[in-house]
Amino acid sequence: MSQSDIFPFTIHCYDNGHYIEMDNRYRETWLSIKPKDYTWYCYDVTIKSRTEITFTIYGMRDTCYGGIGEKQDQFEVTVDKELTDKSIEKECKRIAREIRQKQIDDEETVRINEIKWTLYNTC
C-alpha cells in the first residue's frame, strides 16, 4: 500500500441530531491559526500527509436550529507528525477492513457460483 492509497482523506464533522461532532484532536491547532474575531461553527479536517492538513470551515445553517451551514473557507496548516498519527492509523484500519470485506465478498461469490453450478448441473 502506498501513500497515494491513504492520502488525502477527510474527517468530516456531522450533526448527530443533538450537536455537531468534530474530531477535537485538531481543535487546539484550529484555534491557534484561526483569524482573530473569525466566526465559525464547525470544521472538516483533510489529512494530506503526516504533516499537512486542511481545515474546511463551515458556518451555522440556522441561528434558531443550528446545523452545519455553507462552506466558508479553507486553511492549510503544517503540523507535527504526532498530531495526525491516530487519524492515519484509524484510516489504515478502515482501508484494511474494506479490503478484507471485498475479499470475503469475492470468496462468497465464487462459492455461490460453485453451488449454483452444482445445483444446475445435477438437477
Segment 14-71, tens digit of pLDDT: 999 888 999 999 999 999 999 999 999 999 999 999 999 999 999 999 988 889 999 9
Domain enclosing residue 38, as ranges = 3-122
46 neighbors 9 (Cβ within 8 angstroms): yes
Give dist(CA 39, CA 29) in Å, integer: 16
Give the total number of structural domains in the chain: 1
The grid coordinates of residue 59 equal 458556518
How would you classify the pairing of strands 14-15 and 42-47? Answer: unpaired
How would you classify the pairing of strands 68-78 and 42-47? Answer: unpaired
Confidence of residue 13 (pLDDT cuts 50, 70, 90): very high
pLDDT at 2 over 90: no
What is the average per-residue pLDDT within 118-123? 84
Amino acid at 110: V
Q: What is the pLDDT of residue 9?
A: 97
